[in-house]
Chains A and B, each alone.
Chain A
Amino acid sequence: MKITIFQLILIFIWSSITGAGSVLDEFQTHRPLIACSITGLILGDPVKGIILGGTLELIALGWMNIGAAQSPDSALASTISTILVIVGSQSIQKGIAIALPVAAAGQVLTVFARTITVAFQHAANRQAEKANFRAIEWLHFSALFVQALRVSIPTTLVAIFVSPTMVQSMLNALPDVVTGGLTVAGGFIVVVGYAMVMNMMSVKYLMPFFYLGFILGGYLKLSLLAFGGVGLIMALVYVQLNPKFSKQPVAAPANSAAVSEDLAEDELED
């Protein structure tokens, strides 16, 4: 298919929003689930966009910004892979295979952008001396444009120059063992995401709950929502029964004192 000028403008605007969303990490417009769906909508094939978004989201489950560290960039990966899948008429699997190196490239670009914004911080320090509120606000929000352009420029370039035959001939050059291998790997590549999430949460003494989920998930044919309900109930019961969270932490010694008094009385009676 051919992209119209109007679509190109929408792609530019939307990829700017995902770029800003990617650094903000607030509204989640940069997550594949949202970014791919809307890009698909702009390109006239929303369903393909949603399916790609859902598939990529599962892989990106553990991509998160912790502290000052950056995750692989889901914004750039989502917009570019959706364009290639829909405009370049590729399969979802190939879209995923394209998305991953793009995410790595996006990660490098965001490191640049976050280094550039140090200059905004310094400019704000100078404005603070003069108590110039407006200038500080302006510096803070204009830093967003650096991040927006980081995604919208490469995305728009891809949208302009991509042609189905070009993508097709590039992919045809790949031997079957590569494309087949990528499809196989697509089945279990999510474990990296799981592992990242797990490392965040993992508290050694709570790990039995993970293994319980693993065993029940393997043998029970329940929906994920039902498993979520079971998990929630377990969490509530765990917190309620845990002596660590009992309402009066002083109650324990007081009780034991009472017990020993009882014992003493018993002894006296004997």
Chain B
Amino acid sequence: MSSAEEIVSTLTKRDIFQTFVFENFQQASFNYETIHGLAFCVDMIPTIRRVYKTKEDQAEALKRHLTFFNVTPGVCGPIVGVTMALEEGKAQGENIDAGTIQSFKVGLMGPLAGVGDPVMWGTLRPILAALGASLAVKGSWMGPFLFFFAFNAIRLALKWYGLKLGLNRGLALVKDVSGNLLPKLTEGATVLGLFVMGVLVTKWTTINIPLVVSKTQNGGKEVVTTVQTILDELCPGLPALGLTLLMMYLLRKKVNPIILIFALFGVGILGYGLGWLK
């Protein structure tokens, strides 16, 4: 296989920018059959229009990219970029067949979704949203502003530089992916994310169990011991931790989150009614 770096690209700045704009609508036609299939094809339209001259070649390329595709939208850039490089190579007579292009797409889809989902949805958004929400609950405009601009700045940068990286590095990108960079990034983000989640669990969950365990007389003063005071002496936030771990277990057992939310509302109503929760 010859390196895509040797290929002189015929794509114009406008083609690349248009692809970048299209990338921001990656889920517009989300459908259960091909997920982002139609979107990926649209991403490739500026390239296909530029590099293929005959109707037959164009139709072949379009059909090739209408197939199943799914990756975290934030990290689709490198895949689109590499595929652009491959299509350009193919159009210029390099020995690249349709199967190679498909396997590149699918091959990159897995690892990038593996990084993209936990980093974008599992770490970046919850942290920025939590930060924004902490300002918003006090009624500050900074909350929504911070969340919106910080998240979108990072997301747009990922899309633009991901696309450029994929396109410029072409085939060479594959080495990066199998190398150290992505696992390093994922693992570092996981450490940060888990730590922050631990903080959130104890700081932002309110469970108060005023259930009285004992009443003792101490020097004429009545000391009331509740479940809550015992738990607080052990370690603050223990009920929240227990509940979180229970929810994780149930979610892994494929229990629908909406059912869990309603069940917790049930617990709240029952506990309040019995006077165990306040």
Contact = CB atoms under 8 A, between A and B. Distances in A.
Interface of A: 20, 23-28, 31, 33-34, 37, 46-47, 50-51, 53-55, 57-58, 61-68, 71-72, 97, 100, 103-104, 107, 114-115, 117-118, 120-121, 124-125, 128-131, 133, 136-137, 139-141, 143-144, 177-178, 180-192, 194-203, 206-207, 209-219, 224-225, 227-228, 230-232, 234-236, 238-239, 242, 244-245
Interface string B33-58: 11101110110010011000001001
A28 B147 CA distance: 9
A72 B257 CA distance: 8
A54 B136 contact: yes
A54 B25 contact: no
29 contacts: A24-B28, A26-B155, A33-B144, A67-B70, A67-B113, A120-B29, A120-B31, A120-B38, A124-B66, A130-B59, A133-B58, A141-B29, A144-B29, A180-B269, A181-B272, A184-B277, A188-B206, A188-B264, A189-B265, A192-B247, A196-B251, A196-B257, A197-B197, A198-B244, A201-B193, A206-B191, A217-B201, A230-B195, A238-B187
Given A68-B70, A200-B118, A214-B241, A177 B273 contact: yes
B140 interface: yes
Contacts of A198: 194, 197, 244, 248
B189 to A, nearest CB: 7
Contact of B265 (A37, A181, A228): A181
Contacts, number: 376
A140 B193 contact: no
Interface stretch (B77-85, B119-127, B164-172, B220-228): B119-127
B191 A209 contact: yes
A130 B131 CA distance: 50
Contacts of A236: 188
Interface residues of chain B: helix, strand, loop or mixed (majority):
helix
Contacts of A67: 70, 113, 117
Nearest to B269: A181
B205 interface: yes
A213 B196 contact: yes
Contacts of A245: 180, 183-184, 187
Nearest to A20: B28
Interface in B62-80: 62-63, 66, 70, 73
B267 interface: yes
B17 interface: no
